[in-house]
Structure 1
Amino acid sequence: MPHSPFTFRCLPLACLLCMLLLNIGVCQAQVQDSTQTDSTKQNFNTRVIENLKELSKRKTIMGKLMKALLDFDRADEEVYGLDAELIRKEYEKHNYKIVRRIDILTLDVFGYSINDTSKVPDTFLEKAGNSLHVKTGRGLIRNKLLFEKMKPLEPLALVESERLLRQTKYLLDARIIVNEETTTNDSVDVFVVTKDIFSLGGSGSYSPSSGRGRVTLRELNFLGQGHQIEGSYKFNMDRPRPWEAAAYYTVENIGKTYVSADLAYVDENYYKEKSLFLRRDFFSLNTKYAGAVGASWIDERILLPSTPEDTAARFGNVSYTRQDAWLGRALKFKSYNLGYDSRGRVILGARVINTNYTTTPTGNFQDNTLMLGSVGYSIRKYYKDRFIFGFGRTEDIPVGTLFTVTGGYQDGSIWDRKYFSTSLSFAKYGTNFGYLYGKAGYGSYIRDDRWEQGVLDVETMYITKLSERGNWKLRHYLLGRGTIGIDRHPEELLSINDDSGVRGFRSDLVRGTRRITFNYEANLYTPLSLLGFRLATFVFADVAWLSTGNQSSPFKESPYRSYGVGFRLRNEFLSFSTIQITLSYYPKLPPNDNLRDFRIYESSATHYDLRDFQFNRPGVADFY
């Protein structure tokens, strides 16, 4: 078996300093355990930590390495309001009062506490780390708030503003508090406190055996004004051209319009894109209007159907330009209870997509204008929890229901046809139950009373409640997905690569039109810190069935599988991607592909994600 390359991350020098800060006790992202912890848990936690401490005291190479890398004496910060629905009852009595005053406090990265604002940096390294970072401007925070000075306080405005701040990429956490001491019968004073992350960061990888690597740099909060810049470069690639590059620029919430601008430039071997979009999402429960307008220029090489004799993938070139615009309007039901605002919304949306091809590999591509209209019903709310995907920071858990029906008409240069789709999704969450998500959707074009290019999509995900034993925390993740293509074009093919089914699996020859996948993972969050990065370990198993043809069942084919173990490192104070190293075993491999049974590889992406119930633009059902 060929030797498996080991890949490692390269970090900018300035951020290495920030890593060292956490090793002296700066990082405080985890919740302090209750004094009510039973003796069994305490004994387990103490026994493991003490054994590791004893190993680190030995004068061996392993002992010295453990002493240098592991931090056993972390001071954890208490976090308030967890496991609670974001609509907090104590705020209901303040609805429709006049906001008399808004005080905003923005905290730097190191040495400060969002729950204890009297805490300040007291070491040279903490102060040095903060000097490398430009703190978020208060005006930027003010523009995120859904309430204004000298105006009535709308229901949900406080909790929705806190959620929007917390989900901002350059903020670690946020709290919005009503000053009860100065509150009157008709007015309130509001205090807003936010804590930054170190916005300059990146990631990288390098394989010594092949010389192949990747470097990514990003700035999430340029000069404290919220501008986000990211660039990546890949080199020594085994492709027709040895390098690839990409750059992205985003300006969030221009003024206080909640309109954002996205600019993208991608120059890869098989995909090239230049695009510019202005967008406004249904960012809050109370948002009335959303929409976007933009244009893109795309050149790509798509995979063509393979035969059993093929030893290399066959590709075709597609080039096109696209103009895209949509507008949505949310209608809420009347509520006669001033202390409660209904979360249910009816949303109407319309979209126009104009596509013009300059190069096509087959006759299944045509210039066209697609007009879509949709109606949806959305109920969404949020809970707070930790250790879902983060390593101790507060996370917002979306739950609710979203039902949509979409219809449209495609005016093409060769043929005209109609379009229809519908989907239903829901999620439930409880501290003693965990998180359950389900979705089912179907979409298809209709031409001459014949349904074509259809897709049936189903998905379910379950995340168990957090199990704790001392400072060790465990969650299980289960994900099942099915994508069934119905009368698809021959060049429209599904893969099982990475997030599409089997993590770490990469093959251009394994393609089909019907796919069923199941994924399992157990994630153990440890109390250990490695160079200031929180450490988690995991085991996983992936199974994927794939078939070709509109009538064949995926279960008639033997599945592709992967089993593995790995660890993740994450620093919530920095903008680095999660560092992940995985060892995987693949019992079945395609006969004509140069793959290995065992692989050690790095990744910065997680295999799971929470689905929001925010209504997006009307669109065609995805098939990828």
Structure 2
Amino acid sequence: MPYMHPILKSLPLACLLCMALLCARTSRAQVQPQDTTRKQQQGLPQTDTTNQDFNTRIIENLKQMSERKTIMGKLLKALLDFDTPEEEVYGMDAELIRREYELHNFKVVRRIDILTLDPFGYSINDTARVPDNFFEKAGNSLHVKTGRGEVRNKLLFRKNQPLEPLALMESERLLRQTRHILDARIIVNEETTTNDSVDVFVITRDVFSLGGSGSFSPSSGKGRVTVRELNFLGQGHQIEGTYKFNLDRPRPWEAAGYYTVDNIGRTYVSADVAYVDENYYKEKSLFLHRDFFTLNTKYAGAVGASWIEDRVLFPSVPEDTVPRYGNVRYTRQDAWLGRSLKFKSYNLGYEPRGRVILGARVINTNYTLTPTENFQSNILMLGSVGYSIRKYYKDRFVFGFGRTEDIPVGTLFSVTGGYQDGNIWDRRYVASSLSFAKYGPAFGYLYSRVGYGTFIRDDRWEQGVLDLETMYFTRLGEWGNWKLRHYLLGRGTFGINRYPEELLSINNGNGVRGFRSDLVRGTRRVSFNYEANLFTPLSLLGFRLATFVYADLAWLSYGNQSSPFKEKPYRSYGLGFRFRNEFLSFSTIQVTFGYYPQLPPNSNMRDFRLYESSAPFYDFSNFQFSRPGVAEFY
């Protein structure tokens, strides 16, 4: 993480904004070319003199202001400690697979030492650092640290066994992707390494696992409270509960609960239990699953059952002022199994990245309540063949606020076929998809995907969907501790011979941020989204601040022959703020101010809207082969 003086982290946001503007007027940061390649290759700490000079100017200005005999000066002198020792900033390799680690392939692991750190006051790069104030110590006292056994269960290497290729870096990635672990490092002790054996040191740092989120509207009295524990008693169990109240629905409250047991007994099998009791959606489900969590995973699969009550939105007509729905109720049993096959390699120091993956799945669905005759109880049998190449890079300030993020790149191609045995009719299913991604520190990240799937009944193709997606984000621009990225996302979903009750929306993440209307629906949708995200060095009570501006456009049409571009697009322009504390399990706090030039008819939306959100709008595709399935249409 780029260096920022600790006193800046405790400064109130409004003061920091004023100070930054004052400092910007009195001094300009000079961007100097730096040669960090050699230090990256040697794994040495990198010193960003531009960032340090920029911070030094701010600190000096704050010191001068604190010496004045004014109210602001006395406040600064009381709040800030100018003698806090600085934390050394370490560089980061761009590629996750470090070449020097390949020298240790197939050596015997002689010793594994594991160090787990509490969330506050510790550093994964400097293990000598300890909490130095009351708040850090108090926060750690309320936290149950991850057990070393839980960390050991995530490792792909074992004591007294040969070290497989990729095991070190894949283990580090798995630890970092665990929800209750902020960051992880796996280090080979080069001083004790011999020609046939190695000692390994594993360091992890927790997030404060108890957290949640909530919202409340003073005008209506509506509210929502979510509480979660990501690491119950340090054993990796995840518990989450949500309660909504004072709703203007048939029942004024709704509740939901989720429980997850991750990696049961070093098998990488996880259990998920869900209970949802809402006015218009109810679910009870239980699943055991094991994913292709690493490149070398041979077997994956899942088995589970669910009980669902939902409602289906019917197509609207011009005279509709409220949406029309139909109820559906069903039970489902689901099971699948996958097998990964790797190519032979005659180079012991090289692990081939490509995998051929075979998968089979059976879904048994029984409807007890249906809104139309298009819903039938059935057994769907699917089989798929895929080819996957994937690897990971490391970067920061992509979707996080300075933590290490793993960026997946590669190629995934799959072909799926199946047969549906229904109570009323039988039909076949065919589908195919292709996706790829590339990344470079100077280029940025580019991801593209195309997929198509359809059922075939009596030589008639129905419920087809063509799905297109492209996402690009730029390299990270840096001005001192201010960092900027641009994000571009284009998506297209085209329904072909869909049933009348199967409709697309452009609400929120489906097209236009902050848009909400159940009357704007269609079968073909195209959307483009742009965002510029500025990560600032400012923080409020440990929550770092990012600002963003965005523009969304979405086209929607109905019918097989209709083109979305013949319709006028729905648009949204806006700006907002995001607050995030990476050491806590609280969701990102986002406040957005949006403008909507075109509103749907019979809508209660306004041209301008101020709203809060915590759901991410962009995300990575992991190039991890998942269960065979039917192409989604939503």
What TM-score do the two structures reach when normalised by structure 1?
0.91
1:37 pairs with 2:50: yes
**Of the candidates 209, 234, 241, which is equivalent to residue 219 of structure 2?**
209
Task: Report the Cα distance in structure 2 between the residues aligned to 1:219 and 1:489, rounded to whole angstroms.
Answer: 41
Instruction: Between 182-191 and 118-127, report the one with greater CA deviation.
Output: 118-127
**Of the candidates 354, 365, 368, which is equivalent to residue 364 of structure 2?**
354
- How much does 1:450 deviate? 1.0
1:621 matched residue in structure 2: 631
Contact 2:65 2:76 (8 Å CA) reproduced? no
Task: Report the Cα distance in structure 2 between the residues aligned to 1:620 and 1:560, rounded to whole angstroms.
Answer: 29
For residues 271 and 21 of structure 1, do their structure 2 counterparts lie closer, same or farther at Cα, with a shift above 3 Å needed? farther
1:127 pairs with 2:117: no
Counterpart residue identity of residue 10, structure 2? N
Contact 2:549 2:574 (8 Å CA) reproduced? yes
CA-based RMSD of the aligned residues comes to 2.8
For residues 516 and 297 of structure 1, do their structure 2 counterparts lie closer, same or farther at Cα, with a shift above 3 Å needed? same
Cα deviations by residue, 1:202-252 (Å, 9 ceiling, x for unpaired): 000111111111100000000000000000011112222221111000000
Contact 2:354 2:390 (8 Å CA) reproduced? yes
Contact 1:21 1:532 (8 Å CA) reproduced? no
Task: Report the Cα distance in structure 1 between the residues aligned to 2:67 and 2:214, rounded to whole angstroms.
Answer: 29
For residues 583 and 179 of structure 1, do their structure 2 counterparts lie closer, same or farther at Cα, with a shift above 3 Å needed? same
- How much does 1:134 deviate? 0.4
**Of the candidates 480, 485, 488, which is equivalent to residue 475 of structure 1?**
485
1:435 matched residue in structure 2: 445
After TM superposition, the structure 1 = structure 2 runs for residues 95-494 of structure 1, keeping only pairs within 5 Å, are 95-494=105-504
After TM superposition, the structure 1 = structure 2 runs for residues 46-65 of structure 1, keeping only pairs within 5 Å, are 46=57
Task: Report the Cα distance in structure 1 between the residues aligned to 2:368 and 2:567, rounded to whole angstroms.
Answer: 38
- How much does 1:551 deviate? 1.1
After TM superposition, the structure 1 = structure 2 runs for residues 495-510 of structure 1, keeping only pairs within 5 Å, are 495-510=505-520
Contact 2:46 2:90 (8 Å CA) reproduced? no
Task: Report the Cα distance in structure 1 between the residues aligned to 2:518 and 2:599, rounded to whole angstroms.
Answer: 12
- How much does 1:596 deviate? 1.0
Percent identity among equivalent residues?
77
2:10 matched residue in structure 1: 23
Instruction: Between 119-128 and 165-174, report the one with greater CA deviation.
Output: 119-128
Instruction: Between 238-247 and 417-426, report the one with greater CA deviation.
Output: 238-247
Counterpart residue identity of residue 246, structure 2? N
Task: Report the Cα distance in structure 2 between the residues aligned to 1:246 and 1:580, rounded to whole angstroms.
Answer: 23
Q: Which runs of 5+ in 1 are unaligned?
A: 1-18, 26-30
Task: Report the Cα distance in structure 2 between the residues aligned to 1:397 and 1:175, rounded to whole angstroms.
Answer: 16
Contact 1:20 1:531 (8 Å CA) reproduced? no
Cα deviations by residue, 1:291-337 (Å, 9 ceiling, x for unpaired): 00000000001111110100000000000000000000000111111
Aligned residues: 598
**Of the candidates 86, 103, 114, which is equivalent to residue 93 of structure 1?**
103
SS in 1 for 2:266: coil
Task: Report the Cα distance in structure 1 between the residues aligned to 2:531 and 2:618, rounded to whole angstroms.
Answer: 10
Cα deviations by residue, 1:361-384 (Å, 9 ceiling, x for unpaired): 000000000000000000000000
Task: Report the Cα distance in structure 2 between the residues aligned to 1:127 and 1:363, rounded to whole angstroms.
Answer: 62
SS in 2 for 1:164: helix
Counterpart residue identity of residue 491, structure 1? E
SS in 2 for 1:230: strand
Q: Which runs of 5+ in 2 are unaligned?
A: 1-5, 13-43
**Of the candidates 584, 587, 594, which is equivalent to residue 574 of structure 1?**
584
Cα deviations by residue, 1:122-175 (Å, 9 ceiling, x for unpaired): 323222111100000000000000000111100000000000001100001001
Cα deviations by residue, 1:425-458 (Å, 9 ceiling, x for unpaired): 0000000000000000000000111110000000
Task: Report the Cα distance in structure 2 between the residues aligned to 1:102 and 1:183, rounded to whole angstroms.
Answer: 13
Task: Report the Cα distance in structure 1 between the residues aligned to 2:60 and 2:568, rounded to whole angstroms.
Answer: 44
Contact 2:114 2:203 (8 Å CA) reproduced? yes
Cα deviations by residue, 1:581-608 (Å, 9 ceiling, x for unpaired): 0000001111111111111100111211
Task: Report the Cα distance in structure 2 between the residues aligned to 1:477 and 1:72, rounded to whole angstroms.
Answer: 37
Task: Report the Cα distance in structure 2 between the residues aligned to 1:53 and 1:228, rounded to whole angstroms.
Answer: 48
SS in 1 for 2:169: helix
Contact 2:7 2:80 (8 Å CA) reproduced? no
For residues 415 and 49 of structure 1, do their structure 2 counterparts lie closer, same or farther at Cα, with a shift above 3 Å needed? farther
Task: Report the Cα distance in structure 2 between the residues aligned to 1:51 and 1:589, rounded to whole angstroms.
Answer: 48
After TM superposition, the structure 1 = structure 2 runs for residues 582-593 of structure 1, keeping only pairs within 5 Å, are 582-593=592-603
- How much does 1:55 deviate? 12
For residues 227 and 553 of structure 1, do their structure 2 counterparts lie closer, same or farther at Cα, with a shift above 3 Å needed? same
Task: Report the Cα distance in structure 2 between the residues aligned to 1:206 and 1:75, rounded to whole angstroms.
Answer: 41
Contact 2:188 2:201 (8 Å CA) reproduced? yes
SS in 1 for 2:112: strand
- How much does 1:78 deviate? 4.8
For residues 129 and 323 of structure 1, do their structure 2 counterparts lie closer, same or farther at Cα, with a shift above 3 Å needed? same
For residues 554 and 76 of structure 1, do their structure 2 counterparts lie closer, same or farther at Cα, with a shift above 3 Å needed? farther
Counterpart residue identity of residue 398, structure 1? P
Counterpart residue identity of residue 37, structure 1? T
Counterpart residue identity of residue 417, structure 2? G
1:524 matched residue in structure 2: 534
- How much does 1:72 deviate? 10
SS in 2 for 1:255: helix
For residues 509 and 51 of structure 1, do their structure 2 counterparts lie closer, same or farther at Cα, with a shift above 3 Å needed? farther
Task: Report the Cα distance in structure 1 between the residues aligned to 2:77 and 2:321, rounded to whole angstroms.
Answer: 50
- How much does 1:84 deviate? 2.0
Cα deviations by residue, 1:257-313 (Å, 9 ceiling, x for unpaired): 000000001111221100000000000111000000000000001111110100000
Contact 2:66 2:75 (8 Å CA) reproduced? no
Contact 1:69 1:531 (8 Å CA) reproduced? no
Counterpart residue identity of residue 47, structure 2? S
Contact 2:482 2:534 (8 Å CA) reproduced? yes
Contact 2:314 2:325 (8 Å CA) reproduced? yes
What TM-score do the two structures reach when normalised by structure 2?
0.90
Counterpart residue identity of residue 614, structure 1? Q
Contact 1:106 1:137 (8 Å CA) reproduced? yes
Task: Report the Cα distance in structure 2 between the residues aligned to 1:36 and 1:424, rounded to whole angstroms.
Answer: 44
- How much does 1:59 deviate? 7.4
Task: Report the Cα distance in structure 2 between the residues aligned to 1:188 and 1:397, rounded to whole angstroms.
Answer: 28
For residues 591 and 52 of structure 1, do their structure 2 counterparts lie closer, same or farther at Cα, with a shift above 3 Å needed? farther
2:20 matched residue in structure 1: none
Counterpart residue identity of residue 333, structure 1? F
SS in 2 for 1:90: helix
For residues 261 and 397 of structure 1, do their structure 2 counterparts lie closer, same or farther at Cα, with a shift above 3 Å needed? same
Counterpart residue identity of residue 371, structure 2? P
Task: Report the Cα distance in structure 2 between the residues aligned to 1:579 and 1:65, rounded to whole angstroms.
Answer: 28
- How much does 1:93 deviate? 1.2
For residues 58 and 183 of structure 1, do their structure 2 counterparts lie closer, same or farther at Cα, with a shift above 3 Å needed? same
SS in 1 for 2:171: helix
1:559 pairs with 2:559: no
Cα deviations by residue, 1:558-615 (Å, 9 ceiling, x for unpaired): 0111000100000000000000000000011111111111111001112111111000
For residues 250 and 58 of structure 1, do their structure 2 counterparts lie closer, same or farther at Cα, with a shift above 3 Å needed? farther
- How much does 1:34 deviate? 3.4
2:621 matched residue in structure 1: 611
